[in-house]
Amino acid sequence: MKRWTRSFTPLFYIMPALAIVLVFRIVPILGSFGVSFTEYDIGGLQRISWFENYSRMLGDPRFWTSVGNTLFFVLGVVPAGIVIPLLFAMLLRGKLACKSIYRTIYFLPVVTSAVAISVVWTWLFNPEGGPVNALLGFFGAEPLMWLREPRGIFEMILSPLGIRLPGLLGGPSLALVALMIVSVWKSIGYNTVLFLAGLENIPNEYYEAARLDGAGAWGSFRHVTWPLLSPTTYYVLIMSTIVSFQTFALVYVMTPPPGGGPLGTTNLLVFYLYQKAFDRFDIGYASALSVFLFLVLLGLTIIQRRLAGRRVVYE
Amino acid sequence: MLLPFVWMVATSLEKGGFSNYAEAWEEVPFGTYFLNTIVVTVLTVLGVLVSSALAAYAFATMEFKGRGVLFLLFLSTMMVPQPVYLVPSYVILSRLHWIDTFAALIVPWTVNVFSIFLLRQHFRSIPRSLYEAAVLDGCSTFGYLWRVVLPLSRSALVTVILFDVIGSWNSFMWPLIVTNSENMRVLQVGLSYFNQEAASNFPLLMAASTFCTVPLLMLFVLSQKQIVSSYARSGLKD
């Protein structure tokens, strides 16, 4: 009897967590794949349609637009979300005085809800009397339409010179760029904290050795900081990629539904998935989109791991 | 970095000062939203604490068949982003007739694999000899968890609580999808609807944004050192 209870004891402890993980994680994750092969709408399962949702996806121009928008978004947000926090971290490194004040300042956007932040930035970007345009006016620049501007930024910059850039060549719309700015601003604090922790792990002797060898500020960054910080940089790179692929609240609140922004230029993948699933109840198709998102993120993580595997220096 | 916050408060006091706050509060039932959010946050965090502490304890201290596989299964769910399983979760919840209930807002989030991972790491650092001494003194397995392990893990537990309070308070996509009636809305969903309704009344919107952020802001200012170091630690989970 005692042996019996003993061998079941661990199960009792794990049971609550296991039950929830099974019902609300494992089953839905597998379910995504399952449902993506069916026609499933508000009336429930209609029929098994095998790869129909996927072939529909390939021929769906709105899907490709959302993929293009998401790529623009990720390619803009991730590098900026590494460079700016890295600069911040290097400036703040070793400054013990006022540490908590700085920390409060740059970390505040991280703990504030994406919805509240979006509402505030909608006002900041408002074309009629919003602070951002007021600031531009102060420097003598023309006011911009920001969240209501569907034109690509390259197009906007080059069209006065008479250069026309059609479609994707025009770049992300100004509205999407506005979302990128907010996204980077929100993530700066978290990434700065990670970089600061990474910098603290680099022993000071390395810098002294570099200085003795005649390295300047750039030299010691290039040969000490950058290589020894690479595990942190790599982690930030992967996390920011995964997180920015999932952007939803910013799109939903700042460029409100049903649009997904001016001419659909801020319609990102997860927002499109939401529209398909919960506006149209095209559950089967939305599941195919989820699977696509999952495979893209998995693929990116594997590729980044491969590429970084050769470059990342672990001590 | 702070400018947007300054502008938020400044604009909220334009044309009418503090009466904007009262007006925004009465325009939509923010009282209900607050209450819902508090209920959801408190119950979610309690659930996470109980389920994570128990599971982490088993993973950290007990020998059993399939422990490694189970733990890997838990960890693997952490790698899958939420939007991937959102749609089938909705299907499951509607089958359970949970749509538009507190259960839908709370139950799926009463497990946090990262919390299990964090607590397990911490529990493992407690020396085995302590367990043997406690058992000699007649302590049961659960008694050891309750009277020895948990009191020794205060800082890890605080980290878990802070993470989940912030996550729960700020969560948006999930409550947006699983609730639809006005009296089930949480703060973030309520604020986003208010944003659509009061489209260009910016002083009112800024007032609403301010009182929706203030509770977390206070939590952050009071425990910022703990929060920031928790986040820094979350980056080292690999």
- SS in 3 state form for chain B? CCHHHHHHHHHHCCCCCCHHHHHHHHHCCHHHHHHHHHHHHHHHHHHHHHHHHHHHHHHHHCCCCCHHHHHHHHHHHHCCCHHHHHHHHHHHHHHCCCCCCHHHHHHHHCCCHHHHHHHHHHHHCCCHHHHHHHHHCCCCHHHHHHHHHHHHCHHHHHHHHHHHHHHHHHCCHHHHHHCCCHHHCCHHHHHHHHHHHCCCCHHHHHHHHHHHHHHHHHHHHHHHHHHHHHHHHHCCCC
Q: What are phi and psi of B70, to 5 degrees?
A: -60, -45
Q: Mean pLDDT throughout A97-104?
A: 77
CA gap A193, A110 in Å, rounded: 11
Residue A140 lies in a domain: yes
| Residues B88, A35 contacting (CB under 8 angstroms) | yes
- A286-290, A311-315, B55-59, B104-108: least confident range: A311-315
CB contact (8 A) between residue A242 and residue B74: no
- A4 chain-B contacts, CB cut-off 8 A: none
Residue A11 lies in a domain: no
Residue B150's nearest CA partner among B50, B219, B64, B59 is B50
CB contact (8 A) between residue A290 and residue B52: no
pLDDT higher than threshold 80 for residue A234: yes
Residue A17 lies in a domain: no
Residue A19 lies in a domain: no
CA gap A26, B72 in Å, rounded: 12
* pLDDT tier, A304 (very low <50, low <70, confident <90, very high otherwise): confident
- The CATH number of whichever domain residue A142 belongs to comes to 1.10.3720.10
- B4 chain-A contacts, CB cut-off 8 A: 109, 117, 120-121, 124, 185
Q: Mean pLDDT throughout A143-154?
A: 90
- For chain A, what is the mean pLDDT? 89
* pLDDT tier, B100 (very low <50, low <70, confident <90, very high otherwise): very high
Residue A236 lies in a domain: yes
> 């942190």: which residue's tokens?
A232
| Residues A127, B19 contacting (CB under 8 angstroms) | no
pLDDT in tens, B118-150: 999 999 998 888 888 888 888 888 999 999 999
Residue A128, SS3 per DSSP: coil
pLDDT at A43: 85
Residue A117 lies in a domain: yes
CA gap B115, B55 in Å, rounded: 10
- A16 chain-B contacts, CB cut-off 8 A: 50-51, 54-55, 110-111
pLDDT at B151: 93
Assign residue A98 a region: left if phi > 0, alpha if psi is -120 to 50, beta otherwise?
left
Q: What are phi and psi of A39, to 5 degrees?
A: -95, 115
Considering its fold, how many domains does chain A have in total? Answer: 1
CB contact (8 A) between residue B220 and residue A107: yes
pLDDT in tens, B42-83: 999 999 999 999 999 999 988 888 899 999 999 999 889 899
Structure-token pair, residue B90: 């909705």
The secondary structure element, H or E, covering residue A239 is helix A230-245
Q: What are phi and psi of A46, to 5 degrees?
A: -95, -55
> Which DSSP symbol is given to A50?
T
Topology of domain B16-234 in CATH is MetI-like fold (1.10.3720)
Establish, for the pair of chains A and B, how many residue pairs have beta carbons separated by less than 8 Å. 237
Structure-token pair, residue A151: 């034109």
Residue A34 lies in a domain: no
For residue A266, the enclosing domain spans: 52-311
pLDDT in tens, A106-133: 889 999 999 999 999 999 999 988 999 9
pLDDT higher than threshold 80 for residue A59: yes
Tell me the shortest Cα–Cα distance from A139 to chain B, in angstroms. 18
Structure-token pair, residue B45: 């965090």
Residue A24 lies in a domain: no
pLDDT in tens, B136-195: 888 888 999 999 999 999 989 998 999 899 999 999 999 999 999 999 999 999 999 999
Tell me the shortest Cα–Cα distance from B230 to chain A, in angstroms. 10
- A113 chain-B contacts, CB cut-off 8 A: 169-170, 172, 187-188, 191, 212-213, 216
Complex ipTM value: 0.92
CB contact (8 A) between residue A112 and residue B217: yes
pLDDT at B74: 94
